[in-house]
Amino acid sequence: MPFDPNRLVNPLLLTLKPYQPGKPIKECQRELGLTDFIKLASNENPLGTSSHVTGQLSQVFPEISLYPDGSAFELKKALAEFNKVKEAQLILGNGSEDVLKMLIQTFVSDNHQILISQYAFVAYKILAQGLGIEVKETPAKNYGIDLDAIIKAVTSITRMIIFANPNNPTGTYVNHQSLVEFMNKLSQDILVVCDEAYLEYVTAKDYPQTLALLKQYPNLIITRTFSKAYGLAGLRVGYGIADERIIDLVNRVRQPFNVNHLAQVAAKLALEDQDFVKNSIQINEHGKKQLSEGFSKLGLTFLPTQGNFFAIEIPVTDVDVFQALLRQGIIIRPLAPYKMENFFRITIGTPSQNEACLKALKTILQKEKVV
Ligand X SMILES: *Cc1c(COP(=O)(O)O)cnc(C)c1O
Positions that interact with ligand X (CB under 6 A):
43, 95-97, 121, 164, 168, 195, 197, 225, 227-228, 233, 238
Minimum CB–partner distance for residue 195 and ligand X (Å): 5
Q: Which residues, listed in sequence order, are joined to residue 160 by a DSSP beta bridge?
A: 114, 191
Minimum CB–partner distance for residue 240 and ligand X (Å): 11
**Residue 233 or 371 with smaller CB distance to ligand X:** 233
Minimum CB–partner distance for residue 266 and ligand X (Å): 13
Please give the Cα distance from 162 to 116 (Å, whole number). 6
DSSP 208: -
**Residue 208 or 294 with smaller CB distance to ligand X:** 208
Closest CA to 131 of 4, 242, 11: 11
**Residue 233 or 370 with smaller CB distance to ligand X:** 233
**Residue 257 or 297 with smaller CB distance to ligand X:** 257
Residue 132, burial from CB neighbour count under 10 angstroms (0-12, 13-18, 19+): middle
**Residue 191 or 358 with smaller CB distance to ligand X:** 191
Please give the Cα distance from 19 to 213 (Å, whole number). 32
**Residue 42 or 178 with smaller CB distance to ligand X:** 42
Minimum CB–partner distance for residue 265 and ligand X (Å): 17
**Residue 343 or 360 with smaller CB distance to ligand X:** 343
DSSP 6-43: GGTS-GGGGG-----PPPPHHHHHHHH--S--EE-SS-
Query: Which residue lies nearest ligand X, judged by its C-beta?
Result: 95
Minimum CB–partner distance for residue 139 and ligand X (Å): 19
Cα–Cα distances (Å) from 39 to 33, 94, 145, 238, 339, in that order, read 16, 23, 28, 22, 22
Range 82-87 contact pairs with CB under 8 angstroms and sequence separation of 24 or more: 82/271, 83/211, 83/241, 84/211, 85/211, 85/214, 85/241, 86/244
Minimum CB–partner distance for residue 364 and ligand X (Å): 26
Name residue 321's amino acid.
Answer: V
Please give the Cα distance from 219 to 269 (Å, whole number). 31
**Residue 238 or 294 with smaller CB distance to ligand X:** 238
Strand stretches in the chain, DSSP E: 38-39, 90-93, 113-117, 134-138, 158-164, 191-195, 220-225, 238-241, 301-302, 309-313, 330-331, 333-334, 343-347
